[in-house]
Amino acid sequence: MNRRSFLTAAAAGLVTQAAGPLTSPARASASRALKGDPFTLGVASGDPSTGGFVLWTRLATDPLGGDGRGGMPARDVDVDWQIATDERFRSVVRTGTATARAGAAHSVHVEVDGLEAGREYFYRFRSQGRLSPAGRTRTTPAVERPLRFAVAACAHYEHGYYTAYRRLAEDEPELVVFLGDYMYEYGPSGYTALAGRVRTHTPGKCRTLADYRLRHAQYKSDPDLQHAHATAPWLVAFDDHEIENNWAGLVSSTGAPGFARRRADAFRAYYENMPLRRASLQGAVLRVNRRVSWGPLARFHLLDTRQFRDDQACLDGVRAGCDDRLSAKRTLLGSGQWSWLESGLRGSDARWNLLGQQIMMTQRDYKVGPGREVNLDSWDGYAPERTRLLGSLAATSNPVVLTGDAHMHHLADLKTDFDDPDAPVIAKELIASSIASDGDGYRDRTWIAEAVAENPHISFIDQRRGYLMARLDRDELSVDYRTLDYISRRGARAKTAHRVTIPSSAQARA
């Protein structure tokens, strides 16, 4: 059975059905039967290391049960888990039992270590006599090994079907980097795409822990999303919409009271629904800035550009004439994360250093013709810190910046001075379009030509939905900008609209 047939079979339940029960006995507390299948939200894995990864599931017999509890009783439930080296689970290498706590929305996070480096594993759960779908994951290599990875962001559930997640899975990445707006907080039609909506959010804007849990359950019920999670480990980081549009630190963009409480609840629900390590949830702080290495080849530096930032300058928005954005006192990363990043870049012995972060780093003038209007929510609103970061990247081995948020593919040169055509290029910024946000895409060639003319350091823009598929080895990073022509109906193919190949600096000099 090859990989694709494994996934097809797993999706159809054939692999798990053929494979006999897990060996670990159920505990007494789990003996009262649940009504229905508890694995309706699928399985996931994340944050791989040389010895392991995080395995995730969340039990919900009725995902949209109304109170965010997914139809589950107010008691803890035991969940057995199993890891094998083959998709039929004939060669099981690790088993255990975890407790899905009622207080954690019956989520399960199993942190596995001590496995073999650089290999594929299969995992599944069992609870109440039911088997979960099987997932595929992998440990990172200890030696230099090429990497195929995907980059994705922004998946508004109402705006379209998740065909892009399905196509991403079919491209068989070994790792998926997700850069924010995994879910959106708006109530039904609170944010509409041009073509309207193809399905409807759970009622109301997310405000309470129950609201966020319910919304996550709705998103996780999608079979295409479940398929993408079951294909490879993910590195996830949130942006704004997992909490609220354009929040900054402890400041709500709407000025509504009680934001600290809401943020803590949204963080908690996010953790409960993602394959993150337990250490990421630190009281009211959710720490997602972290590093993951792929042997000596690559190091991912995941950033958090929301939680520790100063409020947006000049009341946010896209506008001209905001001197505040040029204040060196303002920070996007916060001092703690800044020091962490600086020392991590300086100390990195990886050949490639990939920054995974949320918002557009390149300068972007939105005004056609004389004058300049910039998006104060992006790095343009924190320009001096960007200059300092580019200075650090200039001293780093093969830096590349990976970005979400824009809902359009972009390829840009990051420069010390964006207004100087002769200024050196420090790194490429690769911006992934959205999985679903803004609905069916299009190509407005006039608009693109104007945008590129206004911003000569940006060489490619595509307004269709999609994701990035990258191949990395010691000599080059090759990236396909994958696009889909529509998502208002199911079944669109993914095409490569553009390919960029970035040679390593050592290779470029050779």
Q: Interface with Fe ion by CB under 5 A: which range of 60-68, 77-85, 190-198, 435-443?
A: 435-443
Cα 431 to Cα 134, 205, 414, 428, distances in angstroms? 31, 28, 12, 10
C-alpha dihedral (21, 24, 25, 31), degrees to nearest 10: -70
Backbone angles phi, psi at 233, to 5 degrees: -70, 145
Cβ at position 241, least distance to Fe ion in Å: 6
Distance CA 417, CA 383 (A): 11
Q: Which residue's CB is nearer to Fe ion, number 185 or number 224?
A: 185
Q: Which residue's CB is nearer to Fe ion, number 132 or number 463?
A: 463
Quick one: residue 225, left, alpha or beta (phi over 0 = left, psi -120 to 50 = alpha)?
A: alpha
For position 82 contacting Fe ion by CB under 5 A, the verdict is no
Cβ at position 152, least distance to Fe ion in Å: 11
- DSSP conformation class of 463: -
Quick one: residue 325, left, alpha or beta (phi over 0 = left, psi -120 to 50 = alpha)?
A: alpha
For position 437 contacting Fe ion by CB under 5 A, the verdict is yes
Q: Which residue's CB is nearer to Fe ion, number 156 or number 290?
A: 156
Q: Which residue's CB is nearer to Fe ion, number 307 or number 437?
A: 437
**Nearest residue to 286 (alpha-carbon basis) of 258, 264, 260, 259:** 264
Sorted by sequence, the CB contacts under 8 Å of residue 307 that are 6+ apart come out as 249, 285, 286, 334
Q: Which residue's CB is nearer to Fe ion, number 211 or number 242?
A: 242
Q: With contacts defined by CB under 5 A, how many residues of the chain interact with Fe ion?
A: 3
For position 127 contacting Fe ion by CB under 5 A, the verdict is no
Q: Interface with Fe ion by CB under 5 A: which range of 148-156, 197-205, 271-279, 283-291?
A: 148-156
**Nearest residue to 437 (alpha-carbon basis) of 417, 465, 475:** 465
For position 243 contacting Fe ion by CB under 5 A, the verdict is no
Cβ at position 193, least distance to Fe ion in Å: 12
Binding residue (CB under 5 A) for Fe ion from 105, 154, 179, 214 = 154
Distance CA 415, CA 332 (A): 18
Q: Which residue's CB is nearer to Fe ion, number 359 or number 401?
A: 359
Q: Which residue's CB is nearer to Fe ion, number 375 or number 398?
A: 375
Sorted by sequence, the CB contacts under 8 Å of residue 385 that are 6+ apart come out as 330, 331, 332, 333, 338, 379
Q: Which residue's CB is nearer to Fe ion, number 363 or number 433?
A: 433
Q: Give the chain's length.
A: 510
For position 181 contacting Fe ion by CB under 5 A, the verdict is yes
Q: Interface with Fe ion by CB under 5 A: which range of 138-146, 150-158, 249-257, 328-336?
A: 150-158
Q: Interface with Fe ion by CB under 5 A: which range of 245-253, 367-375, 431-439, 474-482?
A: 431-439
Cβ at position 485, least distance to Fe ion in Å: 20
Cβ at position 39, least distance to Fe ion in Å: 29
Cβ at position 431, least distance to Fe ion in Å: 12
Backbone angles phi, psi at 104, to 5 degrees: -115, 30
**Nearest residue to 107 (alpha-carbon basis) of 55, 62, 181:** 55
Positions touching Fe ion (CB under 5 A) are 154, 181, 437
